[in-house]
Structure 1
Amino acid sequence: MGFMEDIKHRYGMDILRNFKQWANQVNKRASLENHRKFLLRCRKQRILPSHITRYSKCISGLILSNSPFANHCYSALTQFQFRVLNIEICFYHWKLRQIKHNIEIIKSKLRNEIAEDILFSFSVRQNKFYNFKFHQIRSKQMTKFNNLMNVQVPSNLKSTPDKWIMNFSDLSIPNNVKCFLSLGHQFNLPYTNSIPVMNIIVDCERVISKHDFENRDLVRARVVNTIMNFLNSNQYSRSYSPSLCRDLRDTRAFLSNNKDHIVVLRADKGNVTVVMNRDEYSKKCTELLDDSQTYEKLESDPTVRVQNKNNRFVKILLNKDLVPEPVAKKLTSNDGIFPKMYFLPKIHKTGIPMRPILSFVGSPIYELSKFIADLLKPIFIKDEHYVRNSFDFFNSTNKTRLPPNYVLLSLDVVSLYTNTPTDLALQIIEENWNMVSDPSFDSETFKLIYNFLITSSYFCFNGQFYRQIFGFGMGNCVSQICCDIVMVKLQDYCLSRLPFSVPIFKRYVDDIFTSVPVNTEQLVLDTFNSFHPKLQFTLELESKSALNFLDMRVERTDDNVLYVDWYHKPTFSGRYIGFHSHHAMIHKVNIIRNLKFRALNLSDKRYHEKNLKKIRSILLNNSCPAHLINKILGESLKPSLPQIISSEGPSNTIL
């Protein structure tokens, strides 16, 4: 006879019913306790159980909509889901207290009806049953929790596309660190602790100080309002994968332990993360700076001296009534910082040379150089050869028909800024002085300021100060406009000396796309190299009737019609802001829309289907949901650029 049958026989149905209720409450307690612990684990790791997220998909359309409320909707949904989680945890706490109370009531009833040894024996049996049931359910809940954790881990953390990160160092990088670094410098993580409000205010105040006095309080009020709205919205506490947190910790430890051995950089082109030996990086950078014809070392920081001289020139402009007082106040520098040089590896070239980049914003002469650049802008003539961007090039090139026996080629200046003669630029400016934005501006004063800006192209690298002694300094606002002016002069000079007509000639800064008769390529190169000994060009000839230019590929058909396709270099990584990055939802949606816009508006219709498949593959690698990709790629494209090409036949025929 079993235990329950014995109780029924000795004490009757009422006592048996109490024992069964006790056993049933213990069974419920084991299940509820496990579920409560599961929810607590979810809350601790900032992940949401599927039963909560499943019933909140009804507002996904609002989140994915292209409206200013998409990010607010996402934030409200996240807050709502975690509040539901907290309420559910509180419910299970209450339910467990109720069950424990019910068990105590049942025990008190049974103590008055049955022997103590029987009650104790049954209590021991129920404790054993509880432990067995608890661990049985716990194993299932842990499997469920681990599966949920894996779902929360971004797919681009589990495996790294080969092109996202390149390791040229001697160190072997742990896989989780490599995966984390491969996310790129634009991948954002939410703040989980305190927000550095004071640092934000200090940075904002520095920017506000450059605004007009009457607008400063308005800007401050907007900044304070934005910060308070963000803090009150709790957006910074949005959940993200715990494995991501662990990878961040491991990556910081790895980089800290190897800071003297490796350096992590962004590639010059292709959006690739590059890891190099620090010694090799420093050696390559130093070799470029040791060029005595371009740079010279300085013994000390010249920032104060340059700043004082900048302010003296501003006073001269003010005293001569060449600028009003508000402009003079803006041009005056009081807290200038020295420019900093850093280098990016050119992984698309043999030997991985370095490209120098100068951080010029905030330097003592930054505002004055902007002022002079604006003065010179009218001299830069944007003729029919100039292209503003890729869309301009596409509209003027696609479906163009070339004459017979012509080939495509491109020209590129070797180190435009550092090799452009400053005296040549000044000579061209003097010849066209009547074209400046303010012809009444004193030309002699301009020459003094021009020479000052050119000779003040200094910077710091690895604690050593340098000054550029030839050419234009990168980052200096005057450099770009002066190089453009020289390139226009060079273009007109060379085209006038070619003994044949050029059916198409397009120039973007120092990149030139053109078409010339067969077997005249060397003549073209020699003509362009003859303009000035410092300005030398490299030439690239079409291959298999196609030539790459900017982010497009121009293909020439057998009947000499040009068709343009959207193109990426072989070193292009395909990495964009990951979908799991802590960015506003509208930013992620716009990445898809912008990719679609470029792919369709920078390519002929014959390439559209191929490019859409390419976009889909790129976005899936960046963890974008397939349903979101399909929805946006299926939307009709709204034309936002003037279409100057016909959809039928060649648009430009050149004979």
Structure 2
Amino acid sequence: MFENKDKPVIHPFRTNTGFKPGPTCNALENYIHKTKLELSSIPLKERQENLSISERNALASLKNNPDIVIKKADKSNTVVVMDKCKYIKEGLRQLQSKHYIEVERPNLMNIQNVIQEKLTEMHSNGYLDKETFRFLNDSKNIPRCGQLYLLPKIHKIKGTVLNALNDGLCSLKDLPPGRPIISQCATPTYKIGAYCDHFLLPIVKKQLTYIKDTTDFIVKLESLRPPPEVLFVTYDITSMYTNMEFDELITAVKEAYQNADKPVADIPYPKVSDFVFLIKTILENNYFEFNGKYYKQTIGCAMGSTVSPEVSDIRMYQITHMIMNQFEHANKVLFHGRYRDDGFMIFNGTRDEILKFFEIGNSCHRYLKFTYEISGETANFLDTTVYKGRLFQTEGKLDIKSYIKPTNNFQYLQRNSAHCQSVFKGFIKGECIRHLRNTNDKQILEIILDDFRMHLLNRGYSETEINPIITETKLLARSKALEKQRNKRAIPTPLVMVTKYNPCVKGLKRRLLKYWKDLKSDSDCNQIFDSEPMVAYSKHKNIGDLIIRARLQ
């Protein structure tokens, strides 16, 4: 341990082997022993309940109610309580489409055995290292079938109707459309999906239209100085994941993987034929259960599979590239970026000219369709609004601000919730920095932060804890908020004590550090342990975990 001072690279598919190291140097062993005694001597206060008996009874009633289904809304943190019969009706409506067929109970063990045979062959031929093979080897585990669930698209409901629903003034005859998600946990293809995604993600990142996240989008946009008359164009590719056929997806992935640069990597690259076999197996064996019956997806990628975003992205990039090659006004597209199935363009032409782009797009594929919005003034994309405001008029720089969705009900973490104090402070600071990053006009930022303050007050926070953080945010340089994160490998791995938060247990950090100086007095330990240990709290079960289920009960 002490001979190799270089920090090892963490394997991307590391598994827990259960290895327990033997005794090392005296300084480290003394620190471990004394700290264990310190932690075990912490006095425990009397347990505090954070829910009343009536609230616990209400939760149990909700959880066991056979007539309702509770889910989070699509693209929102809103919790939606639905009539179970209407939920099943919406699910069956979607399952009657060309994308799915009903099947007998699938032989999942047979699928798993086929996958394991291929993985064993790859390992024997040197295309799969020992650690990755151990991660992927599921021969001892019994596979489970996927579970279909729906996220209600309440953002599709008109604003006036949504307000009436929130006020209890009306009800819906039918549910809004649901986004179909197939939970893949413990399915035969779950782990090989993560493995394939490891190799496809670098390919997607090199696409010319690739947008990583909001920060990436803002940085790219703020480097532009478009002429005054440009149009903002946003588009959505309807059901992108589920509207591309297996053959075109497999062909696109094969071509992209075959032609991709393959720099020296942590793990061996699989052969093209083996990689295609795994992708084909994932796509063609997407079995799932809904309402006690079994189905198989026959077109597209499963929403919920780890590898689906990259597989769909690769094929969609080919399609948009083809459309752009046929588009006679492509030279007038000053910017084109895409985040999954959402696209953003800045077009220096007329509305009629850009409509031809979508005419080509809506006729070039059997299933895929584009919906779009065109504006000369403003556009919403990701969690930003891009517009021609004060900065555009004075500096030629596009104005950007945080976009607040109409369905946002501002149900922030309540101040009296059972969390450690740093969580509340960290949440406020994180949101403030997000608004700072998303908003390049200081006057607009003032308005947004004031609005945020009011919503926090409504959730039980005090001015004394809100105002210092907001003031600190206003003094920060926005360029810092837009900086790219450092490479994870460049960040030293911290020593972390992971536990669940308990308000009855006090002084964990102080006790961890009590004998830290003694440890650092040893020359070897001083070199290896370059930062103090920290306490991190893992997630407790919350109300959502108790009442929301993927599987239809």
* Structure 1 residues 426 and 289: alpha-carbon distance in aligned structure 2, compared to 1, 3 A threshold: same
Q: Distance in 2 between matches of 1:375 and 1:216?
A: 33
SS of the residue corresponding to residue 214 of structure 1 reads coil
Matches within 5 A, 1:56-95: none
Matched, 1:331 2:136: yes
Matched, 1:546 2:356: no
Give the aligned partner of residue 155 of structure 2: 348
Cα-Cα RMSD: 3.1
Matches within 5 A, 1:531-610: 531-542=364-375, 545-557=377-389, 559=393, 561-605=397-441, 606-610=443-447
Q: Deviations over 1:258-305 (max 9, x none)?
A: x232222211122112122111111111111222x2111221143222
Matches within 5 A, 1:139-178: none
* Structure 1 residues 399 and 376: alpha-carbon distance in aligned structure 2, compared to 1, 3 A threshold: closer
Amino acid at match of 1:598: R
Q: CA deviation at 1:509?
A: 1.3
Amino acid at match of 1:532: H
Matched, 1:637 2:480: no
Q: Deviations over 1:347-393 (max 9, x none)?
A: 11036111112222332222212222223334325345322111111
After superposing the two structures, state which structure 1 stretch, 557-566 or 484-493, moved more: 557-566
Matches within 5 A, 1:426-575: 426-432=250-256, 433-435=258-260, 437=262, 441-500=270-329, 501-516=332-347, 517-519=349-351, 520-542=353-375, 545-557=377-389, 559=393, 561-575=397-411
Instruction: Using the aligned pairs only, state the percent identity.
Output: 26
Gaps in structure 1 of 5+ consecutive residues: 1-207, 645-655
More helix by share: 1
Amino acid at match of 2:346: S
Q: Deviations over 1:135-185 (max 9, x none)?
A: xxxxxxxxxxxxxxxxxxxxxxxxxxxxxxxxxxxxxxxxxxxxxxxxxxx
Q: Distance in 2 between matches of 1:399 and 1:372?
A: 34
Tell which structure's C-alpha radius of gyration is larger. Answer: 1
Give the aligned partner of residue 281 of structure 1: 87
SS of the residue corresponding to residue 417 of structure 2 reads coil
Residues 183 and 305 in structure 2, CA contact (< 8 A), matched pair in contact too:
no
Residues 381 and 488 in structure 1, CA contact (< 8 A), matched pair in contact too:
no
Q: Distance in 1 between matches of 2:42 and 2:208?
A: 53
* Structure 1 residues 467 and 231: alpha-carbon distance in aligned structure 2, compared to 1, 3 A threshold: farther
* Structure 1 residues 348 and 253: alpha-carbon distance in aligned structure 2, compared to 1, 3 A threshold: same
Equivalent position to 1:295, from 78, 100, 116: 100
Matched, 1:613 2:450: yes
Residues 401 and 440 in structure 2, CA contact (< 8 A), matched pair in contact too:
yes
Amino acid at match of 1:238: Q
* Structure 1 residues 625 and 510: alpha-carbon distance in aligned structure 2, compared to 1, 3 A threshold: same
Residues 246 and 284 in structure 2, CA contact (< 8 A), matched pair in contact too:
no
Matches within 5 A, 1:1-150: none
Q: CA deviation at 1:633?
A: 1.3
Give the aligned partner of residue 412 of structure 1: 236
Higher relative contact order (CA 8 A, sep 6+): 2
Return the TM-score normalized by structure 1: 0.60
* Structure 1 residues 505 and 534: alpha-carbon distance in aligned structure 2, compared to 1, 3 A threshold: same
Residues 493 and 531 in structure 1, CA contact (< 8 A), matched pair in contact too:
no
* Structure 1 residues 391 and 383: alpha-carbon distance in aligned structure 2, compared to 1, 3 A threshold: same
Residues 564 and 602 in structure 1, CA contact (< 8 A), matched pair in contact too:
yes
Matched, 1:319 2:129: no
* Structure 1 residues 436 and 449: alpha-carbon distance in aligned structure 2, compared to 1, 3 A threshold: farther
* Structure 1 residues 235 and 610: alpha-carbon distance in aligned structure 2, compared to 1, 3 A threshold: farther
* Structure 1 residues 633 and 381: alpha-carbon distance in aligned structure 2, compared to 1, 3 A threshold: closer
Amino acid at match of 2:108: T
Residues 402 and 439 in structure 2, CA contact (< 8 A), matched pair in contact too:
yes
* Structure 1 residues 377 and 235: alpha-carbon distance in aligned structure 2, compared to 1, 3 A threshold: farther
SS of the residue corresponding to residue 343 of structure 1 reads strand
Q: CA deviation at 1:397?
A: 1.8
Equivalent position to 2:114, from 299, 305, 309: 309
* Structure 1 residues 523 and 620: alpha-carbon distance in aligned structure 2, compared to 1, 3 A threshold: same
Amino acid at match of 2:85: D
Residues 310 and 332 in structure 1, CA contact (< 8 A), matched pair in contact too:
no
Q: Deviations over 1:575-627 (max 9, x none)?
A: 12211111222111111001100111101123111111111012112211221
Q: Distance in 2 between matches of 1:381 and 1:583?
A: 37
Return the TM-score normalized by structure 2: 0.70
Q: Distance in 1 between matches of 2:81 and 2:220?
A: 40
* Structure 1 residues 254 and 325: alpha-carbon distance in aligned structure 2, compared to 1, 3 A threshold: closer
Q: Distance in 2 between matches of 1:313 and 1:515?
A: 47
* Structure 1 residues 277 and 342: alpha-carbon distance in aligned structure 2, compared to 1, 3 A threshold: same
Give the aligned partner of residue 155 of structure 1: none
Across the two proteins, how many residue pairs are aligned to each other? 426
Q: Distance in 1 between matches of 2:272 and 2:286?
A: 22
Residues 15 and 131 in structure 2, CA contact (< 8 A), matched pair in contact too:
no
Gaps in structure 2 of 5+ consecutive residues: 1-12, 24-31, 158-174, 485-553
SS of the residue corresponding to residue 89 of structure 2 reads helix
* Structure 1 residues 216 and 359: alpha-carbon distance in aligned structure 2, compared to 1, 3 A threshold: farther
Q: CA deviation at 1:565?
A: 0.7
Matched, 1:368 2:192: yes
Amino acid at match of 1:529: N
SS of the residue corresponding to residue 634 of structure 1 reads helix
Q: CA deviation at 1:229?
A: 5.5
* Structure 1 residues 622 and 306: alpha-carbon distance in aligned structure 2, compared to 1, 3 A threshold: farther
* Structure 1 residues 626 and 325: alpha-carbon distance in aligned structure 2, compared to 1, 3 A threshold: same
* Structure 1 residues 231 and 451: alpha-carbon distance in aligned structure 2, compared to 1, 3 A threshold: farther
Give the aligned partner of residue 167 of structure 1: none
Q: Distance in 1 between matches of 2:328 and 2:450?
A: 45
Q: Distance in 1 between matches of 2:286 and 2:339?
A: 25
Residues 399 and 440 in structure 2, CA contact (< 8 A), matched pair in contact too:
yes
